Structure 1
Amino acid sequence: MVFSLTPAVNDCLVISEIFELIVDSLCPRTRKCTLAAFARTCKTLHAASIPRLWKHQDGLTQLLRLLPPDTWSEDTFPSGGNVFRITVTDPKRLDWTRFDHYAEHVQHLVWEEPRNVSLFALTAIDVSRHGKKPLLPGLRILDWLEPRATHSPFVRLFLTPTIRQLGLMASDVEPSVMTALFEHVGTVCSDIESLIILKDAQGDNTREFTGVVGHALVRFLRGLPDIKSFISEVRIPADCVAALAALPRLLEVGFYVRQKEMEILAGRASTARSSCGAPWFDALEVLALGTDQMDESLQTFLGAMPAGRLRRVVLEFRQQPDTDTVKQHLALVARAASRDALTSLQLDFDRTHALDASSPVLDVGDALRPLYAFPHLATLVIRIPALVVRARALQDIAHAWPELSILSLMSDHAHPPRRDAPCLALADLVPLARNCPQLDMLTLHVNADDSQLPDTAALARLLPEPSRSPLRVFTACDAGIGDPRKAAAVLVRLFPGLREVEYGGTTRYVGNAHVAFKRKWMAVQALLARRSDVSEQSARAVPARW
């Protein structure tokens, strides 16, 4: 029997919204194969499938294979993989008709140091396309993750005014190459809305833009009036941050500056605050900032932020301050944040430094007090060399932020750091189980020794009704544990939806103790998994009711 599409069905499929729903419902792993099958079915499905089939491309090889077959070849490496080569002697005579027909559909290109296109092929393409329209005229997202200096100039093949999101790899090349890259991109792509500068994975972690490269980046940023997001894994100078602060539509920024640059920025921020109408991150909603330490310079910087806009904050430092200093800075964050919109806070400190008896210890409950008035916090992450979390702090957190989804409070040094701050017990997690109905991931330093576990009667008093907490993942850091079955029973009572239990940390317990506790927490995970399997089998055995 032969089936054919009726005209009504044809009319439905050419409605892009309907076809988008169909495509989005396909399995991601087989989506391209399915789209290719659609394209071979009929003219209607061909026209609807082709744009989606070519929308995203990892590299250029698939398109280059559309060139006339007698103009190119693919050689196989002895170690595996192919390399594409242009074989014609005069690249200017290449026929780009089929290539251009499909290239117009490409909206997202990822160029990640591909070894499958030879340098000579790129040179031939550059010669052949010189003076013609861009290779991908409809490109909107370009991830140029190319660390090789020899290949960096070929980014010009893909630059087009239609690009709105750009990712660049800051490779360790000559300053003149990076300067030319910023200048060329700035000339062609003036309507960029999102810019991400990534660091070469093999490069120096202390890499920064200085001198002529920094000046070129400043000029580039000043020429992007519509940019909404800027993220840089490479350290940037104060002039770049000042240029970002003046951009009228910038909603998200992430950068790292050295301490001396932060001191310069403090002066700029102070001037902006004292000057009526001077811009200083006027539209900013997401701030991710890294520097050496919390000090007066950072306070001045944060104090200049406009009030009531921040909704997500990430602060990263090399040196851990004391509790009062953290509290003062969070008070400035609270001033700049929106009470009804602040949803995420993350504090990261370098946890590799050795501590001594005089090193500060962060009292989490006291430090967070300025933010307890923000009811919609959903993510709280604090990773620090030394911290203490008291049972009362968990109560305050649970009552202040009922919408918490992720809570992670951890350090990498021996815990507890002070005798007057005992480690949390599993019973101390009851406020989270009762008051945080959206909690999904939890990371804490706890103690699950038998002496610290509540018996059935005590747990019933603390939690009269079984919890409905949806907690899925629990990570117990530096956590001693006695009987895995008893610990699992308490966790199930607290968090009936728990699926993954992990043991983290190697600072308090080492050697045989660490191995023994890790094995017991793995036993807890096995007990939870077995319980989950039994529950699913029971659910399948119950007949459906109609």
Structure 2
Amino acid sequence: MVHRALTIPELIHLIVNNVPLGDDGWPSSDWRSPDLPTLQALALTCRAFHEPALDVLWSLQEGLSHLVECLPTDLWTILDDRHGTLTLNEPTRPTTHQDWERLEFYARRVRSLRYGPRKSPLNPYLRMSRVLSGKLFRWLLSSSPSHHLLPRLRFLEWYGSDIPFDYVDSAHMLFGPQLYMLDIGSCLQMLVHLHRRSPDIQDLHIHPDGNGGPDSDHQPIPRDILTSLTPLRSLTLESFSPFDIDVLAGLSTLPHLTEVKIVIATITRQDKRSLLETDYPAAQSLEFRALKSITLVLSFMTELSTILSVCRFPRLRRLNLTSFWGSEPHAFDEMLQVIHDCCSHGVLETIQIHTVPGQLTHLEEGIQVITATSLSRLCAFRRMRKIWLLTEMYIALDDYLLEEMAMAWPCLESLRFQSMAEDSWLIQNAATLEGLVPLARYCPSLKSLTIDVDPSDTFISPHAEPGGGHCNRVLRSIDFKQPFATDIYNVAEIGAFLYAIFPNLQAINEYDSTMTSDCWRLVENTVHVLRKVSQWPRNAGES
């Protein structure tokens, strides 16, 4: 007799939904199926577990071959080829409702369908699904008695150069009324049907995969396709084609759009053409009323500025910008000014700017430096929690700027100013360890710090504690890129200073194995020793 606890549906679903994920080779848990033998055992345990276990067992499918194999065997056959392709038997007899009963019994349980690379990225010998011939694929979708083959499909991933091209003309029939997320390659003809067949789509990823037909990866996304998706909340757009800024005007009309990622990539450094297809009137401004996060990855810093300059983001919290081919100080300064003008000073919390190193570090006019004047524009944003700047240029910091930033950002949690220029340590840095004191004093939530300072003149007074007694007890890790002369006295002074303002500091240059890290490792050891010494009286009292 079944225990009364197993008559509670919530408890049954809790048990089934907590079956561990199987080791199927996929790195992301979103596409890893639960352990199949465990689910099979649950489904056969008793009636209480049967339906819930089957729901989870069939919830994620890698292709449609398992469903095809639920049809009568006289309708399909397996070809003797290297893929073991499933194909339609010829001639095809008319089907009855009974032929489809078993398939429909399982098809209604499918929530996620993945059509992508047929091999696992971590296990190339793991077969994900049999290939369906194009004829069988089209027949399956067009002959099903149900209007939608997978009526409860929520997530569809469709990309990969090994998907047969003759799937494309009928693949849109997989779109159903419950579809929530679509991750698709360059099959733009499929997207034309999306707003009609899946009116509640909220998450859309479009990226090149070389399988949408000739030159499909270089076709611009039609504006009308995107503007028709009114419920859309998240959009990722990756392409090799020029980006028409007019698409932004369409995106700005979507009332629920909260997250956007646009990646427009060039292939070679020699291709210096702008990836912005058209100019946009400077006087016209596009307001994204709901947008909270935007990521832009373009070739040049000037393109980033051009896009941002025609936009207004009253609710933007996260801004992530990447320039493939470096930058120069004037373009960087212009971009910071554009950020200052287009984002709300009381809402923006995260700024990440990355310019790819090794491209434009040295020009004819000499060393390229981001000045303190440029960086001071960021102090207008009063709710800043995360500032990351990774660039091939040199970053000119001084103690006055660090104090201004610390006082402007009381909620700061992560600060990373990192120059990736060759021999950047040869440039004399005006910022010193004294400049870190305001960060310890005014930024109590600061957890991580990457910065270049000159520690050579650090001095510990016997009459006053470094930092005036102010300290940050949250920060655990610091990365310094500036080396220094490692005499014993200097190491002790630097270690004592850092311990005074960051008493819980655990690691310095933790993942850096260069000579720069070696000298700072001595400082880290000094900090650890000082922490042990500070605990002596307390430990003695306890014993």
Question: Under a length normalisation based on structure 1, what TM-score does the superposition of the two structures give?
Answer: 0.72
Give the partner amino acid of 1:168. I
Query: Within 2, Cα distance between the matches of 1:372 and 1:500?
Result: 28
- CA gap of 1:345–1:89, structure 2 versus 1, over 3 A, is same
Among 71, 95, 102, the residue aligned to 2:106: 102
Superposition pairs for residues 105-254 of structure 1, below 5 Å? Answer: 105-115=109-119, 116=127, 117-121=129-133, 123-132=135-144, 133=146, 134-148=148-162, 150-151=164-165, 153-154=167-168, 155-156=171-172, 158-170=174-186, 178-185=187-194, 188-200=197-209, 210=218, 213-214=219-220, 217-235=222-240, 236-238=242-244, 239-254=246-261
Give the partner amino acid of 1:422. N
TM-aligned CA deviation for residue 379 of structure 1: 1.6
My pick for the range that moved more, 183-192 or 103-112, is 183-192
Superposition pairs for residues 16-165 of structure 1, below 5 Å? Answer: 19=13, 32-33=34-35, 38-60=42-64, 85-86=85-86, 89-90=89-90, 95-115=99-119, 116=127, 117-121=129-133, 123-132=135-144, 133=146, 134-148=148-162, 150-151=164-165, 153-154=167-168, 155-156=171-172, 158-165=174-181
Give the partner amino acid of 2:346. D
Among 7, 20, 38, the residue aligned to 1:10: 7
Identity in percent: 23
> How many pairs align?
491
Query: Within 2, Cα distance between the matches of 1:374 and 1:39?
Result: 56
SS at match of 1:393: helix
Alpha carbons 1:502, 1:525 under 8 Å: kept: no
- CA gap of 1:406–1:121, structure 2 versus 1, over 3 A, is farther
- CA gap of 1:301–1:516, structure 2 versus 1, over 3 A, is closer
The superposition leaves residues 117-174 of structure 1 with CA deviations (integer Å, 9 ceiling, x where unpaired) of: 444456424323423244432112222231236347354463324322211234xxxx
SS at match of 1:44: helix
Please name the residue that 1:281 is paired with: 288
Alpha carbons 1:299, 1:329 under 8 Å: kept: yes
Alpha carbons 2:257, 2:291 under 8 Å: kept: yes
The superposition leaves residues 487-540 of structure 1 with CA deviations (integer Å, 9 ceiling, x where unpaired) of: 7776565545555554678xxxxxxxx84445566788899999999xxxxxxx
Please name the residue that 1:393 is paired with: 401
Question: Under a length normalisation based on structure 2, what TM-score does the superposition of the two structures give?
Answer: 0.72
User: Is structure 2 residue 418 aligned with structure 1 residue 410?
Assistant: yes
Alpha carbons 1:476, 1:504 under 8 Å: kept: no
Give the partner amino acid of 1:198. H
Unaligned runs of 5+ in 2: 24-32, 120-126, 265-271, 533-541
- CA gap of 1:438–1:465, structure 2 versus 1, over 3 A, is closer
- CA gap of 1:476–1:300, structure 2 versus 1, over 3 A, is closer
Among 343, 351, 360, the residue aligned to 2:357: 351
TM-aligned CA deviation for residue 474 of structure 1: 3.5
Query: Within 2, Cα distance between the matches of 1:36 and 1:367?
Result: 62
Superposition pairs for residues 424-435 of structure 1, below 5 Å? Answer: 424-426=431-433, 428-435=435-442
SS at match of 1:130: helix
User: Is structure 2 residue 320 aligned with structure 1 residue 308?
Assistant: no
Query: Within 1, Cα distance between the matches of 2:508 and 2:210?
Result: 31
My pick for the range that moved more, 378-387 or 398-407, is 398-407
TM-aligned CA deviation for residue 447 of structure 1: 5.2
Give the partner amino acid of 2:417. L
TM-aligned CA deviation for residue 345 of structure 1: 1.0
Query: Within 2, Cα distance between the matches of 1:526 and 1:45?
Result: 57
- CA gap of 1:397–1:5, structure 2 versus 1, over 3 A, is farther
Alpha carbons 2:466, 2:497 under 8 Å: kept: no
TM-aligned CA deviation for residue 442 of structure 1: 2.6
Query: Within 2, Cα distance between the matches of 1:65 and 1:430?
Result: 68
Give the partner amino acid of 2:439. L
- CA gap of 1:191–1:467, structure 2 versus 1, over 3 A, is closer
TM-aligned CA deviation for residue 234 of structure 1: 1.4
Query: Within 2, Cα distance between the matches of 1:528 and 1:107?
Result: 53
Report the structure, 1 or 2, having the larger helix content.
1
Query: Within 2, Cα distance between the matches of 1:166 and 1:531?
Result: 55
Superposition pairs for residues 287-366 of structure 1, below 5 Å? Answer: 287-294=294-301, 301-306=307-312, 308-317=314-323, 318-322=325-329, 326-353=332-359, 354-356=361-363, 358-359=365-366, 361-363=368-370, 365-366=372-373
Superposition pairs for residues 461-500 of structure 1, below 5 Å? Answer: 461-462=466-467, 464=469, 467-469=472-474, 471-477=475-481, 479=483, 482=486, 494-495=501-502, 497-498=504-505
Alpha carbons 1:294, 1:326 under 8 Å: kept: yes
The superposition leaves residues 213-251 of structure 1 with CA deviations (integer Å, 9 ceiling, x where unpaired) of: 32x633322322222222222144314334323434333
Unaligned runs of 5+ in 1: 78-82, 171-177, 274-278, 506-513, 534-542
Alpha carbons 2:157, 2:182 under 8 Å: kept: yes
Query: Within 2, Cα distance between the matches of 1:228 and 1:310?
Result: 14
TM-aligned CA deviation for residue 355 of structure 1: 1.0
- CA gap of 1:261–1:532, structure 2 versus 1, over 3 A, is same
